[in-house]
Structure 1
Amino acid sequence: MNQRRKDKKRKWFRPLKQGFLIAFSAGCLAACGQTASYQNAKGSAAEYTPGQIMTVAATERNRYQNIYTGQLWSVAADGSGTTFESLLKGQMEQFLTELAAINLLAEEKGVELTNQEKTQVQSLTDTYFSSLTPEDLDYMKVSKDEIYDLYSKYYLADKTVSQLTDEKALEVSDAEAKVIRILQIETDTEEKAETLWKKVNEPKADFASIAEKESGGSQVEFQLEWSDTLNALEETAFSLEQDQISEIISWEGKFYIQKCISAYDEEATAARKLRLLEEKKARAFDQIYTPFIQNHPIRLKNGIWEGVDFSQGEKCTSDDFFQLYHEMGE
């Protein structure tokens, strides 16, 4: 996989991932004998076997239980008393629906996996399936062919979103993503601000120590992100050079003195640049996805959750189905 492909895999897939990485934990679907079918208005269906649903469910079930223990399933997740178990079932259904819809979109747009990509999926399938313990397999009841098919659907959705947003004007400049860090002193009176301004401008003055001692604000260090709607304080901060101290700033009845301690936070800027690009990709893809799904409604077959029990499969520990996929792109 070339570097361009790696970058795409890391950058675009967040919109779809939000449908499940925040979403999942589901229980034992092995009791469900039917295939889960998503019917669209034209009569075609995207299908998930019980084993595929169980693979997704077990992955996130174990991930959550590793953090919160199995006691979380009966905990109320919102003010209306919806349990965490019910919430996750709904989120899991949303993810599977979106995955099916994007695969249907791929079919309409003629997006397919190449032979090389199919080989990558097969290698990934072999790696994942060989890592499953007898207890995992007993809980999931999934075959290697089902794993290959699920990874293929996932990869195809990845590729589809990437291709359909590739030609959009999605560049994010360093200036647009810029993040800086400042120290700031806040005072109630201009007289005190003038006294402190002279103090911080003395030779070898320690601005940070003075700010900690003298500032009327509870916070003295700030990380600021560039935007087109900066207020007066933020505009001043972004106008400062490295280690430069501002003049006294009057704003909303208070008086401020700022010092720039990082005129370009490289790590934070890089992270924000990636986040802004992901947001642009999400908006660009939504312009394609929303009208498509309105014309191709997809739903999960009724009864798919009957017999689901989150408390079973205590010895099933596999939690890296999606992690392995994304590591493939790194």
Structure 2
Amino acid sequence: MINKKTKFCKAAALLGAAVMMISALAGCGKNTKVVLTAGLKKNEVFRISSASCMLPEVMVYLTNMQNQYESVYGSQIWNASDGQLSLEQEEREQVLTQLARIKVMNLLAQKKEVTLDDKEKERAAAAGREYFTSLNSAEVTALNVTQDLITKMYEEYALAEKVYQTIVENVNPEVSDDEARTITVDMIRVSSSAKASQVLGKAKEEGVDFETLAQAESEDQTVTQSFGKGEVSEELEKAAFNLGKDEISDVVESDGSYYILKCISTFDEAQTKANKEKIVKQRQSEAFDTEYTAFEQTLVRQLNEELWNSVTMIHQDDVKTSSFFEVYQMYFQHQE
């Protein structure tokens, strides 16, 4: 049986993953922060410069994510806690962060004169129509939404993605095989220098099977490991990438442990290709984050604290909508 803490960790790790369309933007705008102040409209949760977020928008996000989790874990999941915050509190904060980020990115789009074309607006309208007509009367009432509002939310999502792509399109996509190369080794780790020297002697004896020796002597359960540059300590990286196939390293000291490596493969074509894609995405994220953060820090942010503190999940048997993000994917991601 999965205990509450395990459920909390699993579900908390998935927060944001439910919103698949934001995955490309994850990590961007880490400094987006809403500060507390007065002067907002009654139904206005927050305002960032001229961009406003109303309560129905929050409820669409919160309710869709809530129902996605409940479909997997059941409604009891919200009783889980890590000892500090409940999962419901974690999700509320996640929703606030996501909405704030979308609003900031729309403001950035205005500054850069990035807009949706007619075809993209038509997609947003079609998505808005499909999602809104999927709602029953209880859901429309509980969320307090209109079809126009849903369409506007889809337009803002699409524009956020478009400004992201505009900013990262000039990032250099060329990554050399050497930069992306992944090496596979069998690794023995022990905590004693003397023990390491003893094991190294055995490893270099003729006819010794290194993998079998590693399974018997290593203090780590996993023997075979693959990694690229920058993914392990400098000492291990240097030792590993200087090995030829089937070569065995000397004892390598790193972070208080002692290692002996045997090179299994110096080049994994499939993994190297995957690493190239990972490196390009990292470059894109860094390029976007630099521009986003500088822009975000210039904005005035306001939060309706009283209204925000009153926001809770909807627990009604006839409010089960969970397709808001899926509909966006269908009209935008699948048609690119």
2:234 is aligned to: 231
Q: Is residue 2:263 matched to residue 1:256?
A: no
Residues in 2 aligned to 1:19 and 1:68: alpha-carbon distance in whole angstroms: 31
Q: 1:19 to 1:84 in 2, by over 3 A?
A: farther
1:38 maps to a residue whose letter is R
Q: Is residue 2:181 matched to residue 1:178?
A: yes
1:325 is aligned to: 328
The answer on whether the counterparts of 1:101 and 1:298 sit within 8 Å (CA) in structure 2 is no
2:285 is aligned to: 282
Identity %: 22
* CA apart distance, 1:84: 2.9
The answer on whether the counterparts of 1:246 and 1:259 sit within 8 Å (CA) in structure 2 is yes
* CA apart distance, 1:72: 3.8
Q: Is residue 2:106 matched to residue 1:71?
A: no
1:141 is aligned to: 144
Q: 1:309 to 1:295 in 2, by over 3 A?
A: closer
TM-score normalised by the chain length of structure 2: 0.73
1:38 is aligned to: 47
* CA apart distance, 1:170: 5.8
Once the two structures are superposed, residues 165-210 of structure 1 have per-residue CA deviations (whole angstroms, 9 ceiling, x without a partner) of 32244654443333332223457254543333234xx4xx754334
118-127 vs 106-115, which deviates more?
118-127
The answer on whether the counterparts of 1:34 and 1:50 sit within 8 Å (CA) in structure 2 is yes
Residues in 2 aligned to 1:95 and 1:124: alpha-carbon distance in whole angstroms: 20
Q: What secondary structure does 1:260 align onto?
A: strand
Once the two structures are superposed, residues 134-186 of structure 1 have per-residue CA deviations (whole angstroms, 9 ceiling, x without a partner) of 55434323222111100001111111121123224465444333333222345
273-282 vs 93-102, which deviates more?
273-282
2:114 is aligned to: 111
Q: What secondary structure does 1:156 align onto?
A: helix
1:151 is aligned to: 154
Q: What secondary structure does 1:310 align onto?
A: coil
Q: What secondary structure does 2:162 align onto?
A: helix
2:223 is aligned to: 220
1:256 maps to a residue whose letter is I
Once the two structures are superposed, residues 213-272 of structure 1 have per-residue CA deviations (whole angstroms, 9 ceiling, x without a partner) of 35465431112121298534333322445xx211341223846241314631614x4444
Q: Is residue 2:204 matched to residue 1:197?
A: yes
1:4 is aligned to: none
1:64 maps to a residue whose letter is Y
The answer on whether the counterparts of 2:248 and 2:263 sit within 8 Å (CA) in structure 1 is no
Residues in 1 aligned to 2:305 and 2:110: alpha-carbon distance in whole angstroms: 25
2:96 is aligned to: 93
The answer on whether the counterparts of 1:73 and 1:83 sit within 8 Å (CA) in structure 2 is yes
Residues in 1 aligned to 2:124 and 2:280: alpha-carbon distance in whole angstroms: 26
Q: What secondary structure does 1:111 align onto?
A: coil
Residues in 2 aligned to 1:54 and 1:315: alpha-carbon distance in whole angstroms: 15
The answer on whether the counterparts of 2:184 and 2:224 sit within 8 Å (CA) in structure 1 is yes
* CA apart distance, 1:54: 1.6
Q: What secondary structure does 2:158 align onto?
A: helix
Residues in 2 aligned to 1:255 and 1:296: alpha-carbon distance in whole angstroms: 50
* CA apart distance, 1:15: 3.4
Q: Is residue 2:24 matched to residue 1:15?
A: no
The answer on whether the counterparts of 1:16 and 1:95 sit within 8 Å (CA) in structure 2 is no
Once the two structures are superposed, residues 92-124 of structure 1 have per-residue CA deviations (whole angstroms, 9 ceiling, x without a partner) of 222222211211121122111011111222233
In angstroms, what is the RMSD of aligned CA positions?
3.4
Q: 1:10 to 1:198 in 2, by over 3 A?
A: farther
Gaps of 5+ in 1: 1-8, 21-31
Q: 1:251 to 1:145 in 2, by over 3 A?
A: same
The answer on whether the counterparts of 2:215 and 2:223 sit within 8 Å (CA) in structure 1 is yes
TM-score normalised by the chain length of structure 1: 0.75
The answer on whether the counterparts of 2:46 and 2:303 sit within 8 Å (CA) in structure 1 is yes
Residues paired across the two proteins, number: 298
Residues in 1 aligned to 2:30 and 2:259: alpha-carbon distance in whole angstroms: 42
2:47 maps to a residue whose letter is Y
1:264 maps to a residue whose letter is D
Q: What secondary structure does 1:113 align onto?
A: coil
The answer on whether the counterparts of 1:11 and 1:278 sit within 8 Å (CA) in structure 2 is no
Once the two structures are superposed, residues 40-81 of structure 1 have per-residue CA deviations (whole angstroms, 9 ceiling, x without a partner) of 2xxxx3233433222111111112323443334354445xx3
1:24 is aligned to: none
The answer on whether the counterparts of 1:10 and 1:329 sit within 8 Å (CA) in structure 2 is no
Q: 1:49 to 1:257 in 2, by over 3 A?
A: closer
1:23 is aligned to: none
Residues in 1 aligned to 2:67 and 2:299: alpha-carbon distance in whole angstroms: 33
